[in-house]
Chains A and B, each alone.
Chain A
Amino acid sequence: MPPNFFNSVLLICQFELKRLFSTRKGLLYIITFAVVWYFILLYPIRYASDLLGRQQSSGHGSTFFEFIGFGSLMNWQIPEFGVYWRFALIMFPILCISITADQTCSDRERGTFRFLTLRISRGRLFFGRFMGAMVIQAILIITTLITTLVLTVYRDGSLLSSAFNSSVAIAVNLLIVLLPFTAMMAALSATIKSAKQSTVWAILIWSFLAGIISGLSSYIPVLDNLKVLIPGYQMTELAQLSEWQPLHLAYVPLLQSFVLLIIGYWIMSRQTL
């Protein structure tokens, strides 16, 4: 008997994980990511948190960090996670665009989708691939957070519980931030022929959408509210928030994701394979 919706999505999700962890291409990607992350952890996070820690204890730091636009870092209980949060808000969305650009396009162009859609519906395939992309990103986020937690506890063992709380808060918030980016790439991937083209289109759409809305809102200020349509538009505000505070803005990415997934599913269900 064919599996139900949930089990089909789970099977596709598992297969996407297999693609990452058991194929040469996937392993190469993990190794590259690990090397890049090692340097980020070792230099910016460790040294910046050392500096922050010293400034916090001396009491003169906030003015300097506020002067350079990083005052919000002082709101974090543990400086390592403050620096992580600022880095992650830039790094993970960029990473998301590159790793989730090929959710469906190359399979569709190759005809592999034909084999799959004979067995499961396009909807299950679409949402399964989306879930797979989210799970992969969740694994990367959790891994990087664990390494940051280890670094923090190595510096000061008494910070374990606060570090754990910050890690969970960041993981949840970061995943919510990445939802609309992944959903947008899912929608683009459903209609565009290659991963490279999806990435280019994503950048163009973001730039033009932001440009057009900014241009129009200078004449009609109320149109500035349309910025809510742009995935990640709340990032500047998020960077100023710490720990669990970003959850107050979670409705924006959740709403964007919902709309983008509906658009993506609509495209996918009408696409010629």
Chain B
Amino acid sequence: MSRTIIQCQQLGHYYSGKAALNNVSFEVVEGEPVGLVGPNGAGKTTLMNILCGFLRPTLGSVSLFGLNPGNPELSDKLSALPQDARLDPTFTIGEQLQFFARLQGFSSKEANKEAVRVLDLVALKDSFKEKPVALSHGMSKRVSIAQALIGSPQLILLDEPTAGLDPINIRNIRSIISELSPKTTFIISSHDLEELGRVCQQILLLENGIMSSTRLNMSENDSPTRFFTIQMEPCLASEVIGQLKRLAGVIHVSNPQKNEFIVEYNYEIEPQIDLKIITCITDNHWQYRQFSRGKTLEEKLFFEKQ
């Protein structure tokens, strides 16, 4: 049975009287990566900072592995990529990663190996002797991710891990997360919903300091009403909507963005609606870019209730 590793009870935090977090209660069990999303100013970074022990909550309680944030016993269990944290410009990257490893209990020799290992994971082995100022923004981000991988933490909190990274390195970080999961539980705060949709099974949504939780690919498969999202090449929306609506089982077709269509259908009436939709597209000589099951994460989290 999976154990609970994070427990937040009625958590609140206020900046000059304004609530950044308001009565937030949630639990995270060990296992698959969890996404943390929300609009700007929703309180994601505040929550991450509280979990890491950088910030004391104004109200409520937090426990990680049954311990308070900042407890020294968490040092080999919890790791994080904090937002806007930079390394000391005086020392080389290798020296600093070695020092972090020493603080985590590695011997001098092991610390050196560990620093090389984690730099290799983020494809920055050659930067061992570089100073932080010699690195670009993306490379600095990768070094910060590398420090979070030192040792074998059971929980890693990543605040905007892919922001500022190039596509190759985004893929690399994704594969690191996939390799380490579910032995290591990741909590990933990000605005890149596509990325979160690929990696995470559970999404925590923070809006106006209030938390709600969504399990991806679960609720939809239990319901007879399901969705397909189609990204079309430039086309006449009214024509596409009209044709798709004629298909048996289709309940509703919406056009949330230019050339994007969401088809709502009844699975029990037409289980193979995907084939019908493709046939309809081909028959009408339209072109599509992407055809995917369900709604996009963006649609689910931010526009479904509207």
Q: Which residue of B lies closest to A111 (CB)?
A: B85
Query: Contact mask A92-130 → B, CB, 8 Å, 1/0?
Result: 000000000000000100111011111111101000000
Residues in chain A near residue B99, CB distance under 8 A: 11, 15
List residues of A (199-221) whose CB comes within 8 Å of B's CBs: none
User: What residues on B are CB-neighbors of A3 within 8 Å?
Assistant: 102-103, 105
Which of A11, A114, A120, A270 contacts B75 (CB under 8 A)?
A120
Task: Please judge, given known A-B contacts A117-B70, A120-B72, A120-B103, whether A111 and B90 are in contact too, CB under 8 Å.
Answer: no
Q: CA of A111 to CA of B71 in the docked complex: distance in angstroms?
A: 19
> Does B137 belong to the interface (CB within 8 Å)?
no
**Known interface pairs A25-B90, A111-B86, A272-B54. Does A116 touch B103 (Cβ–Cβ under 8 Å)?**
yes
- Contact of B80 (CB < 8 Å), options: A2, A118, A121, A270: A118
Q: Does B154 contact A (CB under 8 A)?
A: no
A110 engages B102 (CB within 8 Å): no
B87 close to chain A: CB less than 8 A:
yes
Known: A2-B105, A115-B82, A116-B103. A273 touches B54 (CB 8 A): yes
List residues of chain B with CB within 8 A of the CB of A270.
56
A-B contact count (CB 8 A): 81
Known contacts A118-B52, A122-B70, A273-B55: A112-B105 contact under CB 8 Å = no
Q: Which one of A25, A118, A122 has the greatest number of beta carbons of chain B within 10 Å?
A: A118
Please measure, in the bound complex, the distance between the C-alpha atom of A118 and the C-alpha atom of B155, giving whole angstroms. Answer: 12
Of B53, B71, B88, chain A has the most CB atoms within 10 Å of the CB of B88
Q: Which residue of B lies closest to A109 (CB)?
A: B86
A115 touches B100 (CB 8 A): yes
- Residue in B78, B82, B96 whose Cβ sees the most chain A Cβ within 10 Å: B82
B229 at interface by CB-CB < 8 Å = no
Total chain B interface residues with beta-carbon distance under 8 A: 33
List, in ascending order, chain B residues with CB within 8 A of A122's CB.
70
A18 to B108 CA separation, bound complex (whole angstroms): 14
Within A1-47, the residues touching B (CB, 8 Å) are 1-3, 8, 11, 15, 18-19, 23, 25
The reply to whether B72 and A115 contact each other, CB–CB distance below 8 Å, is no
B109 CB, min distance to chain A CBs, angstroms: 15
List B contacts of A124 (CB < 8 A): 72
Residues of A within 8 A of B56 (CB): 270, 272
Let me know if B76 is at the binding interface, CB within 8 A: yes
Q: Which residues of A contact B79 (CB under 8 A)?
A: 118
In the bound complex, do residue B54 and residue A114 qualify as a contact, i.e. CB atoms below 8 Å apart?
yes
- Nearest-neighbor residue (CB-CB) of A124 within chain B: B72
Partner of B78, one of A15, A112, A118, A272: A118
Q: Shortest beta-carbon distance, A39 to chain B, in Å?
A: 28
Tell me the bound Cα distance from A8 to B102 in angstroms. 9
Return chain A residues, CB-CB under 8 Å to B100.
115-116, 119
Contact A115 B52, beta carbon cutoff 8 Å: no
User: Taking the nearest CB of chain A, how far is it from the CB of B23, in angstroms?
Assistant: 21
CA distance A111 to B89 in the complex (A): 12
The 27 sampled A-B contact pairs (Cβ below 8 Å) are A1-B105, A2-B103, A3-B105, A8-B103, A11-B102, A18-B91, A18-B95, A19-B90, A23-B90, A107-B88, A110-B85, A110-B86, A111-B84, A111-B85, A111-B86, A112-B87, A114-B54, A115-B96, A115-B144, A117-B54, A118-B53, A119-B75, A119-B100, A120-B75, A124-B72, A273-B54, A273-B55
Ranked nearest first, the 10 interchain pairs of A and B with the lowest CB-CB distance are A111-B85, A119-B103, A273-B54, A114-B82, A114-B85, A121-B72, A2-B105, A2-B75, A1-B105, A119-B75
Beyond the given A2-B105, A19-B90, please list 7 additional residue pairs across the A-B interface where CB-CB is below 8 A.
A2-B72, A2-B103, A2-B104, A111-B85, A118-B82, A120-B103, A270-B56
A residues with a Cβ closer than 8 A to B are: 1-3, 8, 11, 15, 18-19, 23, 25, 107, 110-112, 114-122, 124, 270, 272-273
